């Protein structure tokens, strides 16, 4: 099968999704398999029960493998939850040889240094996202590679999380007989699936309303500006319906999906929802006005948090494309109208279909799969980056070999030599050239020695002549 095969597992609060895709010749993605299983071991996007989560992963993976005929091995997995935090860090690097071009090696050094940041006990760095660079006195650079300079500075967006939560995700994946290829923050993945390059460049906030959390990622000038996790999502709405209407949780979820609305209209004034009785219970009737009131109250609370994070980021004036909502919660009726009224920004409901080709799997572009598809896209980007690094290393080695060959070729003159002549030529090259000063000294020493020898012979002859007399 042509094209790279990428696999991912999205561990959510209400579902676990396993997905496998192939890169097409036009750099799109073809979804080959998609499996989904209810998630019972996760609370607010944080793994609580490892064994139950492992069972859910195995079930979802088995379905995806059956659809695609491809065995899962190494997977990309998302992470979210209340333990996620983000901070800004400015790193700098002084280059020894400032006349050489800045390369990925210099960028990697800056990232490696950032991984040494002191963190609170029990936390670790999940992801480091460079924002903008400065080379010497040139600021606001998107990519400094190919430039020359003595000092590189960069603003980093550092995402941290609980080591325990990270290890629990790894335990779940490994417990399902899989390997973790990479861990990616869920809103970053969803953004990759839903947002266009133009939206990221113009300024946009992505709001992914999942089951247990609502994740936010703000982009300006194609770089990440702010991330946040709100501890409320679609499951909070279901719980509110269950409590307010005094019904079972599965019934509340079904009503939310079928009749859920965030805004009350005149057409809904006299609508009544009939709920059949379960386990010998009497049937119930719920007014649409009451249901909308429950959903709207919780959704307005979520939107208040969204407003708070957008305002605290200091980027609200740069959000030319407003807010893009995705995730399961984005399918509630009239969400766009409520959000526009509440935030004062342009609102769009984002579907994860812009990177996909037509697939045999139905409903694959549903917003509930935005994170799963985004994990595939980010995994493909990482795979291409690793391939590029390997190519650069190979080119560097080849360049080194060529330099060595050039050094060896200096032995040759202009014409090809026979083997004997080559040996003789090498021997001549290796023998040191005579030193003129040493040659003169040697000649001088020879002459002085001859003069002393002549003087001694003359004295010896004079003594002999005197004795004979």
Whole-number percent of the chain with pLDDT over 70? 81
Indicate if the pLDDT at residue 436 is higher than 70.
Answer: no
Given a cut of 50, whether residue 456 has pLDDT beyond it is no
Please give the radius of gyration of the chain, using alpha carbons only, rounded to the nearest integer.
36
Q: How confident is the model at residue 2 (pLDDT cuts 50, 70, 90)?
A: low
pLDDT tens string 47-89: 999 999 999 999 999 999 999 999 999 999 999 998 999 999 9
User: Of residues 462 and 128, which shows the higher confidence score?
Assistant: 128
Say which range, 8-17, 331-340, 425-434, has the weakest mean pLDDT. Answer: 425-434
Q: What is the mean pLDDT of residues 364-378?
A: 95
Q: Quick one: pLDDT at residue 98?
A: 85
pLDDT of 381 strictly over 70: yes
CATH annotation of 197-351 = 3.30.420.40
pLDDT in tens, 329-343: 999 999 999 999 999
Torsion of CA 4, 70, 29, 358, to 10 degrees: 150
> Which pLDDT value is given to residue 386?
54
The answer, yes or no, to whether residue 401 has pLDDT greater than 70, is no
Contacts for 368 with CB less than 8 Å, ≥ 6 apart: 15, 17, 327, 328, 331
Please report the pLDDT score of residue 18 as a whole number.
Answer: 98
Mean pLDDT, residues 252-274: 89
pLDDT, tens only, 123-154: 999 999 999 999 998 998 989 999 999 999 99
Q: What is the mean pLDDT of the chain?
A: 85
Q: What is the mean pLDDT of residues 240-266?
A: 91
Average pLDDT over residues 155-183: 96
140 or 326, greater pLDDT: 326
pLDDT at 122: 95
Q: Which long-range contacts (CB under 8 A, 24 or more apart) does 352-357 make?
A: 352/190, 352/193, 352/194, 352/326, 354/194, 354/196, 355/28, 355/29, 355/193, 356/28, 356/29, 356/30, 356/31, 357/24, 357/28, 357/29, 357/30
The band of 391, judged by pLDDT with boundaries at 50, 70 and 90, is very low
Residue 433 has pLDDT above 60, yes or no: no
- What number is the average pLDDT over the span 457-465? 50
């Amino acid at each position: 099968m042509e094209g790279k095969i990428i696999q991912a597992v999205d561990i959510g609060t209400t579902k676990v999704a396993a997905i496998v895709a192939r890169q097409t010749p036009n750099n799109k993605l073809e979804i080959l398999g998609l499996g989904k299983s209810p998630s019972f071991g996760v609370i607010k996007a944080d793994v609580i029960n490892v064994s139950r989560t492992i069972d859910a992963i195995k079930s979802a993976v088995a379905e995806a493998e059956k659809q695609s005929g491809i065995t899962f091995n190494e997977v990309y997995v998302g992470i979210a939850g209340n333990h996620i935090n983000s901070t800004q860090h400015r790193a700098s690097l002084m280059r020894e040889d400032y006349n050489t071009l800045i390369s990925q090696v210099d960028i990697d050094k800056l990232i490696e240094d950032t991984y040494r940041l002191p963190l609170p006990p029990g936390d670790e760095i999940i992801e480091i996202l460079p924002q903008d660079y400065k080379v010497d006195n040139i600021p606001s650079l998107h990519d400094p590679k190919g430039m020359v300079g003595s000092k590189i500075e960069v603003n980093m967006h550092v995402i941290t999380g609980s080591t325990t939560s990270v290890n629990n995700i790894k335990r779940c994946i490994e417990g399902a007989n899989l390997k973790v290829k990479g861990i990616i923050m869920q809103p970053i993945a969803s953004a990759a699936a839903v947002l266009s390059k133009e939206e990221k460049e113009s300024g946009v906030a992505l709001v992914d309303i999942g089951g247990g959390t609502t994740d936010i990622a703000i982009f300006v000038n194609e770089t990440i500006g702010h991330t946040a996790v709100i501890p409320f999502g679609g499951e909070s709405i279901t719980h509110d319906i269950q409590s307010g209407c005094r019904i079972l949780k599965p019934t509340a979820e079904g009503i939310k999906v079928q009749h859920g609305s965030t805004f009350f209209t005149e057409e809904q004034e006299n609508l009544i929802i009939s709920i059949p009785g379960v386990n010998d219970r009497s049937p119930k009737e719920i007014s649409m006005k009451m249901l909308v009131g429950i959903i709207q109250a919780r959704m307005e609370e979520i939107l208040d948090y969204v407003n708070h994070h957008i305002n605290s980021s200091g980027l609200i004036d740069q959000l030319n494309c407003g807010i893009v909502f995705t995730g399961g919660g984005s399918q509630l009726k009239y969400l766009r109208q409520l959000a526009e009224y509440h935030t004062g920004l342009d609102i769009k409901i984002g579907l994860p279909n812009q990177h996909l080709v037509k697939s045999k799997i139905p409903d694959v572009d549903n917003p509930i799969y935005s994170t799963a598809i985004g994990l595939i896209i980010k995994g493909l980007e990482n795979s291409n980056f690793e391939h590029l690094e390997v190519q650069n290393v190979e080119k560097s080695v080849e360049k080194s070999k060529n330099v060595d060959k050039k050094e060896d070729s200096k032995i040759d003159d202009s014409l090809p030599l026979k083997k004997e002549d080559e040996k003789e030529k090498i021997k001549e090259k290796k023998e040191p050239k005579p030193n003129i000063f040493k040659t003169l000294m040697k000649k001088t020493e020879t002459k002085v020695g001859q003069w002393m020898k002549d003087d001694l012979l003359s004295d010896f002859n004079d003594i002999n002549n005197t004795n004979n007399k």
